[in-house]
Chains A and B, each alone.
Chain A
Amino acid sequence: MKYVTEFRNADLARAVSAEISTLVDPGRHYKLMEVCGGHTHTIYRHGIKDLLPDQIELVHGPGCPVCVLPMGRVDEGIEIAERPEVIFTCFGDMMRVPGSKGNLLEVKAGGADIRMVYSPLDALRIARENPDREVVFYAIGFETTAPSTALTLQRARKENIQNFTVFCNHVTIVPPVRALLDSPDLRLDAFIGPGHVSTVIGCRPYEFMPRDYGKPCVVTGFEPLDLMQSVLMLMRQLDEGRCEVENQYVRAVPWEGNLKALRSMAEVFELRPYFEWRGLGFIAQSALKLSEAYTDFDAELRFAVPGVRVADPKACQCGEVLKGVLKPHECRVFGTSCTPEHPLGALMVSSEGACAAYYNFGRKAEERVGARE
C-alpha cells in the first residue's frame, strides 16, 4: 500500500537538502514561518529540521484553529451543550479543548448529549433523525473547513430542516498573518504558505506579503519533500533577491482557488467586525459569522450566546509560542503542568498544535542533539 511515496523519497530529500545548503550564507540566520499546523506536524514527524542547515530556523505560526480559539468561545459552546434540549456535535479535537471550567468531554461524562462527528453533514443527518431535539454543530476551522459548513447549511435550507443550527467560529488566514507581520517583536524572512486553505482561496490573497512587507511566500503541500522543496524555493528567492508568491503545491492548488467553494462561503457567511484570537488579541475582520440570509441557523441567536471574554491561565504562554517568540519547550509549563494528557494551553490539545507536535516528536530530536553534544 502506498501513498504519494514519491514525496517521501529519502534520496531526493538528501539532494534537496544539499542544494539548500549551497544557498545558505554562513553568517546569516534565516527564520521561516510555517503558518499551518499541518506543516508543523510534518516537520516534527519526519525530522525535517535535521535535514536543514543550522542557519535555517523554522518558526511555528498560528495555523491551528483549535489552538487560537479563545477560552470564552469554548465556555459558550459548553453552555449550549449543557441545555437539555440540545444534541451538541463537534469535531474530535474540540472535545478536549479546555474551557475555564472543564472541557466538552467532561461535560459529556456529566450527562450532556455531545457527539463527535467527522463532518458537519453528519450533524445535519443527526438533526434529520431527531426532529424533536435541537442539533447544534460547533463550526471551527480556516477556509479549508468553512466550505463544508457552508455546503451543509445550504443543504439544511434546501431541506427546510429547522432544528439545526451552527455555532460559528470559522476564522480566516490572512488577517492574523498581517497582524503577525505588524508585531514589533517578530523578525521573519519568509513564509511557508498553507496548502489546503489555498486549495479553496488560491494564491492571490498572499500577494500582500511581498508587496506590503517584503516577505516571500511559497504555498506548500504536506509531504516531507513538499516542505523541503518549499524551503529550497524560499532560499532561492532570498539568494536571488526575489520577493514573490510561488506555488509549490500545484497538484492541489489552482492559483485562483476553488470558485464554487468561495461562492458557497460568500452566500452563507459574512465577516465579523472583529474576533478574539488566543495570544494575538482582537483582530479586525478575521472571522466569519452567518450571513443575514442564514440567521435562522445561527446558534448564537437561537440560544442568545452572551459573548463572554475569559482570560487565559496566567502560566500559559501559548500567545508567545503562537507568535513564534518562544519555542514550545521554552514555555514555563511545557511538559510539566501542560502535557497532551492534561493540556493547560490549547497548543497542547490538537495533534497539530505546535506544543503537542513538539512534545510528541520534537523533544526526541532535541534529546538526540543533546546526546551528540
Chain B
Amino acid sequence: MIMGDETTPQDYCTLDHDGCVVCSDAGIPVRVVSVAGDDALCEDAAGNRAEIAVELVAPVRPGEVLLTHGGVAIGRVAGTDGLKR
C-alpha cells in the first residue's frame, strides 16, 4: 500500500483509516487514477493512493469512483460525486 503522510481526519473513511476492515462498513470510495491489467492505482478522499484489484468490477476507466474493501473493488459509486475534494 502507498499511503499519504498527512493526518487523516478521523471522521472520513479512507484507505489508511477505515475502522474495522472485516466489517461491511469498510467500503471506501476511491477514484481511479490509472489502470494496469487487473489492478488500478486509486486515490481516496484524503489523497492516499493504493493499488486496487479491479477484476470484480472490470472494465474500469480513470476518473471512475469505485467502492473498495480490503484492497479489492467490490462495486461502483454511481450517480454522485462520491469522492469530493
Within the complex, the shortest CB–CB distance from B58 to chain A, in Å, comes to: 8
Q: Which residue of B lies closest to A259 (CB)?
A: B56
Q: Does A37 contact B (CB under 8 A)?
A: yes
Does the CB pair A196–B19 fall under 8 Å? no
- 20 A-B residue pairs with Cβ-Cβ distance under 8 Å, sorted by A, are A3-B84, A36-B24, A38-B19, A66-B22, A91-B21, A91-B70, A118-B21, A119-B1, A144-B69, A148-B74, A196-B75, A199-B67, A199-B74, A251-B80, A252-B76, A253-B75, A261-B74, A264-B56, A350-B22, A350-B23
How many A-B pairs have beta carbons closer than 8 Å: the answer is 163
Assess whether B57 is in contact with A36, with CB atoms less than 8 Å apart. no
Roughly how many angstroms separate A260 CA and B54 CA in the complex, as a whole number?
11
Q: Contact between B20 and A4 (Cβ–Cβ < 8 Å)?
A: no
Q: Once the chains bind, are B22 and A140 in contact (CB under 8 Å)? A: yes
A174 at the interface (CB under 8 A from B): no
- Max chain B C-beta neighbours (<10 A), residue from A36, A197, A252: A252
Contact of A4 with B84 at beta-carbon distance under 8 Å, contacts A145-B69, A151-B55, A252-B77 already known: yes
Whether B75 contacts A200 by the Cβ 8 Å rule is yes
Is the pair B23, A252 in contact by a Cβ cutoff of 8 Å? Answer: no
Q: How far is the CB of A344 from chain B (nearest CB, A)?
A: 18
Q: Give residues of chain B (57-85) contacting chain A, Cβ–Cβ below 8 Å.
A: 57-58, 67, 69-72, 74-80, 82-85
Q: Are A121 and B25 in contact (CB under 8 A)?
A: no
Please indicate the chain A residues that have their CB under 8 angstroms from the CB of B85 in the complex: 1-2
| Interface membership of B35, Cβ < 8 A | no
- Would B20 and A351 count as touching, CB distance under 8 A? yes
Interface centre among B9, B20, B84 (most CB of A within 10 A): B20
A336 at the interface (CB under 8 A from B): no
Does B78 contact A260, Cβ atoms closer than 8 Å? no
Q: How far is the CB of B38 from chain A (nearest CB, A)?
A: 8
A160 at the interface (CB under 8 A from B): no
Contact of B56 with A195 in the complex, beta carbons under 8 Å:
no
A binding-site residues for B, Cβ under 8 Å: 1-6, 36-39, 41-42, 45, 63-66, 91-94, 118-122, 140-145, 147-148, 151, 194-197, 199-200, 222, 250-254, 258, 260-261, 264, 350-352
Q: Which of B22, B45, B56, B67 contacts A252 (CB 8 A)?
A: B67
Given contacts A1-B45, A144-B27, A252-B76, whether A37 and B71 have CB atoms under 8 Å apart is: no
Is the pair B23, A352 in contact by a Cβ cutoff of 8 Å? Answer: yes
Contact pattern, B 1-43, Cβ under 8 Å of A = 1, otherwise 0: 1000000010111100001111111110100000000000000
Contact: B57 with A258, CB < 8 Å? yes
Contact A92 B24 (CB under 8 A): no
Chain B nearest CB, measured from A196 CB (Å): 4
Q: Which residues of A contact B80 (CB under 8 A)?
A: 4, 6, 251
- Given A1-B85, A141-B22, A148-B71, does the pair A251, B56 have CB atoms closer than 8 Å? no
Residues in B whose Cβ lies below 8 Å from that of A36: 23-25
A93's partner among B22, B57, B83 (CB-CB below 8 A) is B22
